[in-house]
Amino acid sequence: MGEDSVARHRPHSCSPETSPPPPPRSPADDDDLLSEILLRLPPQPSSLLRASLVCKRWRRLVAGPVFLRRFRAHHHRSPPLLGFFIDDYGDALFTPTLDPPNRITAERLSLRQGPGERLSFLGCRHALALLLNRPRLEALVWDPVTGPAAAPWRSHRNSPSTKVISSAAAADDGHVHVHGNCPFKLALVFIDNGRTQISVCLYDSESGTWGDIASTTLVTQWTSSVGTSTMVGNVLCWLIHRPICILEFNLDKQILSVIGGLAHVPDNSRPSSSFIFPMEDSKLGIGILSGQRIRLWERMANSEWLLRRTLELEKILSLKPQAEPWRPVVLGFAEESNAVFVLTAIGVFMIQLDSLQFRNLFESNFVTSFYPYTSFYTAAFLNMAEGPGEASTTAEGRQKLEENEGQGGVGTET
């Protein structure tokens, strides 16, 4: 065989000019793009846990603190309703409302008072719950996922001449709530023995200090209770019964004022028949339950009230006539969900005010207290993310998810 023949059959090495181009990178291989996709998962308790079980890469992305902060920020206007609290003689007992696998067990988010404590549950806002511990002169701002933070008030603010009648807590303006490290502000409402001067004092968790007391005078003696509270922009509002009025406290200016002119609200109205809520453009709304109707009013710029909508409960909920007369009761309002909770003869309903979609949360016609709780719950997932190793935590996650789907829900104790 000649030299030319050998040359013709000798394999040629590929030069850089003739090398095949690398395969195009799949969009799924881009961590930034994948993170943007994962951000749009529904904000349900099991969403991130399910995503973390796909592969190590997905788990690394969704477990990162930056991603978790962005996830909450992306969904901050629509945190899921996890359930509600009732005040059982000082114990804050949680009742879940989600279905498995998103259901949070009652034991996971309940708080039982200790020896010598006398807790009073006052409400929830921005994933925080607020309780008063009167023997210890403390306001307890409680994150049910991570634990409580106490805000003691000076003893003269609970002296014999004053009585704490309500309070409200809110995550500090401009912060997206992240469990365990979110600054908050707390406003205590108290009244003097004459029941004509009402006051508010503000606590700032970042500085750990109380501000000055802001006071105003009621037109007549206060004889009833404080109803629901709401937050409109940076203003906290409380509905006062007998005399019927709305208490307004500006968090920035720390100015307290009273809104009257509620001629459409009977002065002898029951606290369980009315509620206040935020409306669009930072306006204040009030809902009045009369018979089987809820009338929604809006406070205009000229301080007049305009009737915006009437909800016919029998039509919306398809309620059948009862053998005995039954009067519905307003149990509460969830600001983040823009939903009102109504107790009827056949159960407790959640009604979304924008869409009028409703859900029967449970069948009962007897509820003594009701505090809706909305929050992003990732505790079960985060606990596993901090585990000893990838293989063990992935196996644990799959086992936990299977248990949740078949039995209770996220946070089931084993």
CATH code for the domain of 222: 2.120.10.30
Same domain, 242 and 348: yes
Same domain, 80 and 66: no
Same domain, 83 and 34: no
Task: Confirm whether 3 is domain-assigned.
Answer: no
Task: Confirm whether 39 is domain-assigned.
Answer: yes
Beta bridge partners of 311: 294
In this structure, the number of other CB atoms found within 10 A of the CB of residue 70 comes to: 16
Does pLDDT of 18 surpass 60? yes
Same domain, 64 and 83: no
Does pLDDT of 201 surpass 80? yes
Task: Confirm whether 14 is domain-assigned.
Answer: no
**What's the pLDDT score for residue 204?**
86
Same domain, 61 and 159: no
Task: Confirm whether 384 is domain-assigned.
Answer: no
Among 125-139, 207-221, 392-406, the range scoring the smallest mean pLDDT is: 392-406
Same domain, 56 and 142: no
Does pLDDT of 294 surpass 90? yes
Does pLDDT of 315 surpass 70? yes
Same domain, 279 and 241: yes
Instruction: Give the pair of three-digit tokens for residue 171.
Output: 């995550």
Task: Confirm whether 161 is domain-assigned.
Answer: yes
Average pLDDT, the chain: 78
Boundary-marking domain end, from 9, 37, 70:
70
Domain residues for 47? Answer: 29-70
Does pLDDT of 94 surpass 90? yes
Same domain, 251 and 168: yes
% of the chain exceeding 70 in pLDDT = 72
- Half-sphere exposure of residue 387, counting CA atoms within 13 Å on the CB side? 19
Task: Confirm whether 6 is domain-assigned.
Answer: no
Q: Alpha helix locations (H) across 156-269?
A: none
Instruction: Give the pair of three-digit tokens for residue 322.
Output: 């009862």
Same domain, 205 and 310: yes
Please tell me the total count of domains within the chain: 2
Task: Confirm whether 358 is domain-assigned.
Answer: yes
Distance CA 190, CA 167 (A): 8
Distance CA 227, CA 215 (A): 19
% of the chain exceeding 90 in pLDDT = 25
Among 147-151, 238-242, 248-252, 293-297, the range scoring the smallest mean pLDDT is: 147-151
Same domain, 320 and 213: yes
Task: Confirm whether 414 is domain-assigned.
Answer: no
**What's the pLDDT score for residue 322?**
67
Does pLDDT of 43 surpass 60? yes
| Mean pLDDT of the 285-296 span | 90
Same domain, 47 and 162: no
Same domain, 323 and 275: yes
Q: How far is CA 84 from CA 16, 110, 279, in A?
A: 67, 10, 23
Beta bridge partners of 201: 188, 213
* N-terminal to C-terminal alpha carbon distance within the chain: 80
Instruction: Give the pair of three-digit tokens for residue 323.
Output: 């053998």
